[in-house]
Amino acid sequence: MNSSDRVVSLNAPARPNGSGAAAILSAGAGSFALAVLAFAGDKSALIKSSLVFYKPTGPLSGVTTAAILTWLFTWGILEWRWRKRTVAAGRISAIALVFLGLSLLLTFPPVVDLF
Amino acid sequence: MEITTRSLWALIHGMGFGALYLLACSGALLELYRFTSSYPPSDSTPGHERFLKGYLITMVVLAWAAVLTGAYVLYPWYRAAPPPGTADLSMYPQRLLLSSPTTIGWHSFGMEWKEHIAWLVPISITMAAFVFIRYGRGLRNHRQLRAAVLCFTLVSFLAAGVAGFFGAMINKYAPVQGGPTIQLSPGGEK
């Protein structure tokens, strides 16, 4: 690739940020869903038993499957709504990082044991 | 020299997928930062960008392979319940750890943390790879997206580190073992 190609690539117009924001927010939401489901399963025997999707793996199978479906569903909806738009990426990224921070807290056993 | 199939799966999960992911992570963080910083270095070419896209896709595959083999191949062996009256718990790692106050924490803290935090890794790196593939070096024009991608990638690194550390320690105190034996080389006295 010669230098003129690189100049063209570097100066290409910016894409709308909606698609990236959708991926980031949905990753935060999916992580948070995983943490909330894990927390709920730890605190309620009924929820724990309802999360057993695959018996050898136990409730972890339901926690992770439901969280991944939540993540992918949220991503699909947001991508569909935002992909051609420019959105408030700063606010959306901040919300996603708050979700991620809460996920880290809620998956940390000493924090779970506080409740 | 021989190895059991369960030990082989533990090796594939930990030393294969998990350790390779951890090794790749620091490189991904550095390259993502370098490619998307405001002042692109003179040696960043479209060829390098394609390489980084392939590198991130490989990391996505490693991350998903690690959590899926962990949850659906190894974890059932780890948490298997022994028949009543079983005295030798060596084939039941979770129960073996819970049977002694000196090892109970490796399950109640280590495994409880690892089994959940590990799943943040594939979610985070899949998102990071998607955003980089979608925007490439153009990500430097979206500072907030870039910052979020770097944060998620850093968290995936830390989460993989936690999962890897506890996986190694739990396997040290209560290894997953058993199953058919694979002969690696014929034994013999020297």
For chain B, domain boundaries: 2-81+90-183
Task: Give the largest CA-CA distance in chain B.
Answer: 69
Q: Is B68 on the interface with A (CB under 8 A)?
A: no
Average pLDDT score over chain A: 90
pLDDT in tens, A34-77: 999 999 999 999 999 999 999 999 999 999 999 999 999 999 99
Percent of chain A clearing pLDDT 70 (strictly above): 89
Overall average pLDDT of the A1-14 stretch: 45
Query: Which pLDDT score is estimated for B41?
Result: 56
Alpha-helix residue ranges (DSSP H) falling in chain B: 5-11, 19-36, 46-69, 75-78, 93-98, 104-105, 112-117, 120-135, 143-173
- Among B123, B126, B105, B107, CA closest to B159: B123
Q: How much is the pLDDT for B118?
A: 97
pLDDT for the residue B38: 64
Return the pLDDT at B54: 96
**pLDDT for residue A5 is more than 50:** no
Distance CA B88, CA B82 (A): 9
Q: Based on C-alpha coordinates, what's the Rg of chain A?
A: 19
Name the more confident of A13 and B182.
B182
How far apart are the two ends of chain A, measured CA to CA in Å? Answer: 58
Say if B101 is an interface residue toward chain A (CB within 8 Å).
no
Question: Tokens 């034996």 belong to which residue?
Answer: B181
SS3 for A54?
A: strand
The 10 Å Cβ neighbour count of residue A12 is 11
Q: What is the pLDDT at residue A91?
A: 96
**pLDDT by 10-residue block (mean), chain B, 190 residues:** 92 95 93 78 74 96 97 96 89 94 95 96 97 92 94 97 96 90 75
What is the pLDDT at residue A44? 94
Q: Quote the minimal CA–CA distance from B35 to chain A in Å.
A: 11
Q: Give how far the C-alpha of residue B165 lies from the chain's centroid of Cα atoms, to the nearest Å.
A: 10
Model ipTM value: 0.89
Instruction: Give the residue from B37, B106, B119 with the most A CB atoms within 10 Å of its CB, the best one to mutate.
Output: B119
* pLDDT confidence of residue B112: 95
CA distance, residue A45 to nearest chain B CA (Å):
16
SS3 category, A13: coil
